[in-house]
Amino acid sequence: MGWRRGDEALAEHIEAAGASCELRPMRLGVARQLQRSMALTDIVQALASRRAAHDVDARAVIYSSITAALLQPLRRPHAVRFDTIAALSRPGIGGAWQRRRERAVLGRADLLLPWSEAAADAALESARPARPDVIVLPCVVSVGDAENIDAPDATAYAANPEKRGLDVLCAAWSAAAPDGSRLVVGGIDREEALRWLAGRSVAAPRGVEFAGPVPRERWTSLVAGSRVYVSAARYEDWGVAQMEALAAGTPLVTVPTPGPNVALPIASQLAPQLVATDNGVAALAEALRAGLSLDKDTRSEYAARASRLLEPYSDAALRGVVADSVVPALLGRT
């Protein structure tokens, strides 16, 4: 959801700057069934992206991920937008060809549009000796309305249960949640979640609702209405879901997730007691108890401070970056 909304917002900002923009979505079709490993997934998606862009006739092209750019022919000018790079997110043999190909993709780009300073630094290091231009362009962080919903005590997201640490999340919830508390986990349905947890000998906790894929408006409303948002992610490329929770003023309870995770330093600044001391169950349970015990006044103060810290990620702020920097950088070349 975060990626799709990010693409839509970027297209809106480009058009607001006076240029036309067409989104070319990737279509997987039956090839989706081939996504059985990291290497195969990236091959399938890179080929689908190449097909989607095969007849592009534009003054400039922006690829909305490094994967989308991996197998594209050279087009001038072009930019690559990304939250992280394969050198960080694709370790081991399963990411070998992506890491090797990525160096050339980054090095030949006219413009890099990383979501964070950390991703920018990593990309420039990987692209050496080339020095493409860089403009940090985060994802727009937007929130929903918390009214007229059956708000849970906590929300979490686990579309990729291994990456999102669903086992740690559920064990910590079992240890810390008061009786009668309710946790809604989006992105994974109950059958898949229980099967995955059983494979790791983790019991299904009480008070947990696995909601599956949730429409964006409904999901952001659930997050905005919950007492806390909980993350047990083992790695975070940027932290869209966590940033949306912060933008909604919902206290973020999280483990110290590694990666170019922009939400973590903000959460640590707002309420360090809600950031677990490590990635284990006991530490997250302790942070979760602290989050669920916050009173109304503390929550209101948290929301006000979070709003100020997230101003650089607002629609208005990023609209200005696109108009003042991104569009001139690309179209000024032609």
Interval 53-76 mean pLDDT: 95
Domain of residue 277, CATH code: 3.40.50.2000
Both tokens assigned to 280: 């284990």
**Shared-domain flag, residues 35 and 160:** no
Which of 128-137, 143-152, 183-192, 297-306 is predicted with the least confidence, judged by mean pLDDT? Answer: 143-152
> Based on the number of CB atoms within 10 Å of its own CB, is 114 exposed (0-12), middle (13-18) or buried (19 or more)?
buried
**Shared-domain flag, residues 294 and 190:** yes
pLDDT tens for each residue of 277-290 = 999 999 999 999 99
pTM reported for the whole predicted model: 0.87
Q: What is the dihedral of CA 133, 136, 137, 142, to 10 degrees?
A: 180
**Shared-domain flag, residues 183 and 264:** yes
pLDDT at 208 over 90: yes
Band the pLDDT of 334: cuts 50, 70, 90.
very low
- Tell me what pLDDT residue 149 has: 67
**Shared-domain flag, residues 297 and 324:** no
pLDDT at 143 over 80: no
Q: Give yes or no for a contact between 263 and 252, defined as CB atoms under 8 angstroms apart.
A: yes
> Based on the number of CB atoms within 10 Å of its own CB, is 35 exposed (0-12), middle (13-18) or buried (19 or more)?
middle
Domain boundaries, position 127: 2-140+314-331
Domain of residue 122, CATH code: 3.40.50
Taking the C-alpha atoms of residue 189 and residue 196, their distance in angstroms, rounded to an integer, is 11
Band the pLDDT of 205: cuts 50, 70, 90.
confident
- Tell me what pLDDT residue 30 has: 56
**Shared-domain flag, residues 166 and 95:** no
**Shared-domain flag, residues 131 and 190:** no
pLDDT tens for each residue of 76-107 = 999 999 999 998 888 888 889 999 999 999 99
Band the pLDDT of 148: cuts 50, 70, 90.
low
**Shared-domain flag, residues 169 and 66:** no
Q: What is the DSSP letter of 280?
A: S
Taking the C-alpha atoms of residue 82 and residue 112, their distance in angstroms, rounded to an integer, is 8
Domain annotation covers residue 145: no
Calculate what percentage of the chain has a pLDDT beyond 70. Answer: 95
Interval 61-72 mean pLDDT: 96
**Shared-domain flag, residues 114 and 6:** yes
Q: E-assigned strands of the chain?
A: 61-63, 78-82, 111-114, 133-134, 154-157, 183-186, 208-212, 228-231, 252-254
- Tell me what pLDDT residue 31 has: 54
Domain annotation covers residue 216: yes
**Shared-domain flag, residues 25 and 120:** yes
Q: Which residue intervals of 92-203 are DSSP H helices?
A: 96-108, 117-127, 166-176, 190-198
Taking the C-alpha atoms of residue 282 and residue 172, their distance in angstroms, rounded to an integer, is 7
